[in-house]
Amino acid sequence: MKISILKSNKNLEEYSVEENFTINKKTFSSIILLFKVIIAALYAFGLGYSLFFFGDDYIKTGIKVLCILIITYIFIDFPYSFFKALFLPKVFNKDNISLKVNPYTLSIDISSNTKISKIRVIISLILPFIILAIIPTIVSYILEFNVYLYVIASASAIIASKDLICLILILKNYSKGNSIKLDTDELIFYP
């Protein structure tokens, strides 16, 4: 796996449009932002409901949670992306999978130099979301409200919203090809 900083939005290779189907992820950036806001609002509503049980300290606890959430959101993207990349084939081959850090959006995109089966891509999009967002949320409510688990779950869910939109796009265009090549700005379907 190679880690690099994204310098420009140019594609490294030219793809033949006739034989491949390409989805540009940038055209869905407003939907991704809206989805992030909805997820953040849902977690904020759940947090507000949970802080009710703290009694008079709910404002102090809410500010503490907000500060921890901001720090966690900044630093959890790399482990989340690394965990997501672990489900892709030959991840530790530096020529196969690369994590590209975008310093402007503080996000990390995964790109591949090889074709990956759709099932592997779908698994790499779903499992980190389930393990880092869904399970900590459920555990946080079942056992007792845990601020740290809730912060990890909410930051992971907000980060995963981009992956969930990509998952919907892959499932919607499932018949377009058997394999996918990941790029920072595109999903390229191959027959």
* Predicted confidence band of residue 4 (pLDDT cuts 50, 70, 90): low
pLDDT at 12 over 60: no
Among 103, 112, 90, 101, smallest CA distance to 187 is for: 112
The pLDDT of residue 156 is 92
Which one is predicted more confidently, 84 or 11? 84
pLDDT at 56 over 80: no
The pLDDT of residue 13 is 45
Strand ranges in 46-178 using DSSP code E only, listed in sequence order: 97-102, 107-112, 116-117
The pLDDT of residue 157 is 92
Q: What Cα–Cα distance (Å) separates residue 142 from each residue in 40, 43, 136, 149? A: 21, 16, 10, 12
Which one is predicted more confidently, 169 or 141? 169
The pLDDT of residue 16 is 44
Q: What Cα–Cα distance (Å) separates residue 125 from each residue in 48, 81, 131, 135? A: 29, 10, 11, 15
pLDDT digits (tens, 9 = 90+) for 85-101: 888 887 777 778 888 88
pLDDT digits (tens, 9 = 90+) for 117-135: 888 888 999 999 999 999 9
pLDDT digits (tens, 9 = 90+) for 19-44: 667 777 788 888 988 999 999 888 88
Stretch 57-62: mean pLDDT, rounded? Answer: 76
The pLDDT of residue 2 is 64
Share of the chain above pLDDT 70, in %: 85
The pLDDT of residue 17 is 45
CA dist 143 and 179 (Å) reads: 41
Residue type, 129: F
Which one is predicted more confidently, 189 or 18? 189
Average pLDDT over the chain reads: 81
3-state DSSP assignment of residue 187: strand
